[in-house]
Amino acid sequence: MSNFEVAAEAQVHEGGSHASVGFYWTIAGVLAVITAVEVAIFYIDALAPALAPILLTLSAVKFALVVMFFMHLKFDSKIFTGVFVAGLSIGAFVVVALIMLYHFLPRLEG
Amino acid sequence: MSMEATAADDHDYTSTGLPTWKVGFWTFMGSECLFFASLISTYMVYKGASTTGPFPAEVLNIPLTSISTFVLLMSSTAMVLALDGVQRGSRKLASFWLAMVIVLGGTFLGFQVYEFTHFVHEGLTISQNVFGSSFFVLTGFHGAHVTVGVLWMTILFTMSVRGKLTPADALKVEIAGLYWHFVDIVWIVIFTLIYLLQ
């Protein structure tokens, strides 16, 4: 038995099928609706001042839904969450820090 | 259990009791977060720094990219259903949904090729301005990841059709699925930061 087969067999015993097909379609529907809402908001001029926080929040919700349910992180070992979130956190910090450094700090300094 | 089997089992799991391949792949995806963070940072830092056009608002096509985003999201759904098919031992379902992932992934790449070609016709090349450079490098690397994913799915689809993808192989499909979903979440971020927050 190969490495993959042994591990896969163990996962089936541990409850490898994490959710029902109907649940996956529900998540797909929610993701489609959020994407449609994002695009609609983009074209509403009245929401322009609040565009960034609204879109970032909706994007974060989509991101979380895919990671938690399609990638099964919600049902899997917390070690996987730790490994992934560590890389994600450092990456997010780099993005925010560089945006602050190049866009916001120069404005503050006049 | 023979001594050989015990030794093989030791290699299948880390000391945490988790499958070695899966731990390794999640670690790889953590490092991929840093890779794409550096590309996204570069785009964001140079945002608005172009002195010559074309500028983002002149070329970015929101309706078209919304459709390609929807297509990629649906490919993720097909992927999770393909894994479900493999875990159930249904060769028919697994093959169908893997084929859907390939078709939807290929469609997304088609949209990207069209977009890149259109941009070049509009005068936006990788060396035209900093927007062009950072945009093409970021979305190009994402497209390369999608291409690798489509090739990976094609191999799995071939295995499934030939009956070589059984429930015992579910971890192979799950790891391929993790890669595919990762490509999807990277696009979720790119779509918001680059296309919608111009």
B20 at interface of A, judged by CB pairs closer than 8 A: yes
| B115-133 confidence digits (pLDDT tens) | 999 999 999 999 999 999 9
| CATH code reported for the domain at B22-196 | 1.20.120.80
B185 at interface of A, judged by CB pairs closer than 8 A: yes
pLDDT for B1: 42
Q: How confident is the model at residue A48 (pLDDT cuts 50, 70, 90)?
A: confident
pLDDT for B10: 53
Cross-chain residue pair B188–A90, CB shorter than 8 Å = no
The alpha carbon of residue B14 is apart from the nearest alpha carbon of chain A, in Å, by: 11
pLDDT for A5: 46
| Residue ranges in chain B whose pLDDT is less than 50 | 1-8
Q: Which run of H or E residues covers position A92?
A: helix A78-99
| B18-28 confidence digits (pLDDT tens) | 899 999 999 99
The alpha carbon of residue B53 is apart from the nearest alpha carbon of chain A, in Å, by: 20
For tokens 């990207």, the residue is B112
Name which of A66, A79, A90 is nearest B16 (Cβ-Cβ).
Answer: A79
pLDDT for B50: 84
Cross-chain residue pair B181–A70, CB shorter than 8 Å = yes
pLDDT for B12: 83
A100 at interface of B, judged by CB pairs closer than 8 A: no
Cross-chain residue pair B191–A28, CB shorter than 8 Å = no
Name which of A1, A39, A87 is nearest B30 (Cβ-Cβ).
Answer: A87
A23 at interface of B, judged by CB pairs closer than 8 A: no
| Residue A3 reports pLDDT greater than 60 | no
Give the helix ranges, DSSP H, for chain B.
Answer: 3-12, 20-45, 56-59, 62-88, 91-121, 130-161, 170-190
Average per-residue pLDDT for chain A: 85
Q: Which run of H or E residues covers position A23?
A: helix A21-43
Report pTM. 0.89
Query: Angle CA(B92)–CA(B96)–CA(B102) in degrees, nearest 5?
Result: 150
Once rounded to an integer, what is the mean pLDDT over residues A47-51?
89
Once rounded to an integer, what is the mean pLDDT over residues A72-93?
94
| B79-90 confidence digits (pLDDT tens) | 999 999 999 999
How far is it, in rounded angstroms, from Cα B97 to Cα B73? 14
A46 at interface of B, judged by CB pairs closer than 8 A: no
Contacts of B23 in chain A (CB under 8 A): 79-80, 83
B66 at interface of A, judged by CB pairs closer than 8 A: yes
pLDDT for B48: 83
Q: How confident is the model at residue A4 (pLDDT cuts 50, 70, 90)?
A: very low
